């Protein structure tokens, strides 16, 4: 799975961004309280496709949904239907569990993936922008809580 994650980072032009270790993945996928789930396609003893996901929640629907964090199919295995099969498995999970939404992000330059997702019936979320806090900004905001609590 680690190799697929690195290959995805390479494809997304962020080859040095992967910090997750095998131990991290083992903990979140197989620990006492799994918080992340994965569907994989294995071929000849090698993982060739992954869908890493977790539950989200919509206050509007009052139901959980699935957030697809990463979908990756090894370049040599594309056009075999693995991506569609992984997405179909997650859609089936949504239906079986009564989840109302199945969502993910896609880079705006990734036209092949956007076309693939649209062909499956997925639609972009117009007027929505993903926001992120990380690194120093995350630390600064987190540390501001103690100042707010003190009334500073």
Kindly list the domain boundaries of the chain, sorted by start residue: 2-149
Kindly report, residue by residue over 2-32, the tens digit of the pLDDT. Answer: 999 999 999 999 999 999 999 999 999 999 9
Going by C-alpha positions, the residue among 41, 43, 31 that lies closest to residue 71 is 41
| Percent with pLDDT over 70 in the chain | 95
Q: What 3-state DSSP class applies to 38?
A: strand
Kindly report, residue by residue over 101-131, the tens digit of the pLDDT. Answer: 999 999 999 999 999 999 999 999 999 989 9
Q: Please, what CATH class does the domain formed by 2-149 belong to?
A: alpha beta
pLDDT higher than threshold 80 for residue 147: no
How many Å apart are CA 52 and CA 68, to the nearest integer? 6
133 φ/ψ angles, rounded to the nearest 5 degrees:
-110, 130
pLDDT higher than threshold 80 for residue 142: yes
The contacts of residue 133 (CB under 8 Å, 6+ apart) are: 141
Query: Which residues belong to the active site?
Result: 117
Cα 78 to the center of its chain, rounded Å: 19
For residues 57-67, give the mean pLDDT: 97
pLDDT given at position 150 = 63
Which pTM was predicted? 0.87
pLDDT higher than threshold 80 for residue 146: no
């Amino acid at each position: 799975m680690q190799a697929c994650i690195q290959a995805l980072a390479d494809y997304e032009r962020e080859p040095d961004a992967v910090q997750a270790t095998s131990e991290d993945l083992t903990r979140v996928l197989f620990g006492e309280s799994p918080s992340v789930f994965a569907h994989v396609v294995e071929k000849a003893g090698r993982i060739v496709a992954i869908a890493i996901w977790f539950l989200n929640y919509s206050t509007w629907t009052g139901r959980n949904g699935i957030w697809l964090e990463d979908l990756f199919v090894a370049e040599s295995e594309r056009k075999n239907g693995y991506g569609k099969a992984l997405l179909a498995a997650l859609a089936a999970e949504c239906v079986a569990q009564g989840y109302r939404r199945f969502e993910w992000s896609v880079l705006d330059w990734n036209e092949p993936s956007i076309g693939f997702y649209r062909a499956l019936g997925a639609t972009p979320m117009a007027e929505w922008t993903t926001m992120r806090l990380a690194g120093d900004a995350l630390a600064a905001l987190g540390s501001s809580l103690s100042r707010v609590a003190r009334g500073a």
